[in-house]
Amino acid sequence: MQETVKVLIVDDSAYMRVVLRDMLSSEEGLSVVGTAKDGIEAIEKAKASSPDVVLLDIQMPKMDGLATLQRLMKEQPTRVIMLSAMDKVDIDLPLRALEMGAVEFISKPGGPISVDIVKYRAHIARTIRDVSGAKIDVIQKARVPLHLDKKRLKPKEMSGRGFKAIAMAASTGGPRALEYIFSRLPRNIPATIFVVQHIPPMFSESFARRLDSVKGPRTAVATNCTQAKEGNAYVAPGGAHLLVSECSKTAALMRLDDTMPPVQFVKPSADVLFESASTCFGPRLLAIILTGMGVDGVNGAKAVRSAGGRVVVQDERTSLIYGMPKAAVSAGVAERGIPLDEIPTEIVKFLEE
């Protein structure tokens, strides 16, 4: 029998605390062990109740959400989901929260006092259950600032290797994992990189900027009917599937589809990207499935293997949540699991083949 997940709710709105408490208390497998109106009270109650998951607002008096998160990760490390309205919040704050140790971010619908929050009950409850399995030690390691080494990995110059592509998929824990990988790759990488990160549309631009800021491959949000060129990385925007077609020796056409329904409950979907890229690149494609919840990427990985491409996954030890990688391993479509710190080397080896 599955153990009950203990939840601490932190929000400065009394209305939100009551609604969230009532919502989650009625969910099977969840138990609300307390509520707090500000960061100071949250720290005290976290130490007293040792929750499995903290649902944390950003905008609060006395101590805001980021300051509270910082103290929680230092004094009472746990899994934190940021649940906050984005109407008055800097768009870069969610990614900053993930960098500081938050596991996931959920945007409140309709503002700080969200009367529509009950419509998101199933999503919030499912997210809490999923992140309750996140590894605390991996969260702690991810909080260490990235060291941007000037001596980066660099593929050997090889003639006739052809136009190659790397397609990466990630969900929970992905932003930090992708930042690490990009920070170890050269700026002028001799390949095109496509990224599917399960992320809300409003965060796509800031996420792409963060990846670009680590001075690895040039990174931008993918745009419709534009050419993907060697030496660049493209992030699928939230709310649209990214497809690749019309490959030439030096470029490929990117298409965005916002009319197609979610695949495996997500949009963008790694399955969609992988399947189209496998048709386009064949054996010149390396697909990488990183940390995250769910099974997105498995069907696409089958297409990659069938077309002669390669598929590797992040290993269980270094994955924040070993959901997507495990699904690929269980389906027999992954060649092997690789620790996060070895994935950049694996990419370079593929480019040298």
147 is catalytic: no
- Helices (DSSP H) in the chain: which residue ranges? 14-25, 39-49, 65-75, 93-100, 121-131, 136-142, 174-183, 204-213, 270-281, 298-306, 324-330, 343-352
- Pairing outcome for strands 251-257 and 241-245: antiparallel
Closest by alpha carbon to 2, among 22, 31, 24, 26?
31
Query: What is the residue-wise DSSP string for 63-129?
Result: S-HHHHHHHHHHHS--EEEEEE-STTS-TTHHHHHHHHT--EEEEPTTSSS-TTGGGGHHHHHHHHH
What is the C-alpha separation between 300 and 306, in angstroms, rounded? 10
CA dist., res. 277 & res. 274, Å (int) = 5
Find the Cα–Cα–Cα–Cα dihedral 23, 29, 34, 36, rounded to 10°.
Answer: -60
Given 171, 269, 276, 319, which residue is catalytic? 171
Known catalytic residue: 22? no
Asked about 315 being catalytic, the answer comes back as no
Residue 165 region, left (φ>0) first, then alpha (ψ -120 to 50), else beta? beta
The two three-digit tokens of residue 7, written as one number: 């939840």
For 210-257, strand residue ranges (E) read: 218-221, 226-229, 232-235, 241-245, 251-257
Q: Which amino acid is at 283?
A: P
Token pair recorded at residue 118: 């009950």
Cα–Cα nearest to 350, from 287, 273, 259: 287
Given the residues 38, 132, 198, 269, select the one marked as catalytic: 198
Would you say 31 and 132 are in contact if contact means Cβ atoms under 8 Å apart? no
The answer for residues whose C-beta is within 8 angstroms of residue 152's C-beta and 6 or more apart is: 184, 185, 186, 216
Catalytic machinery residues: 171, 198, 296
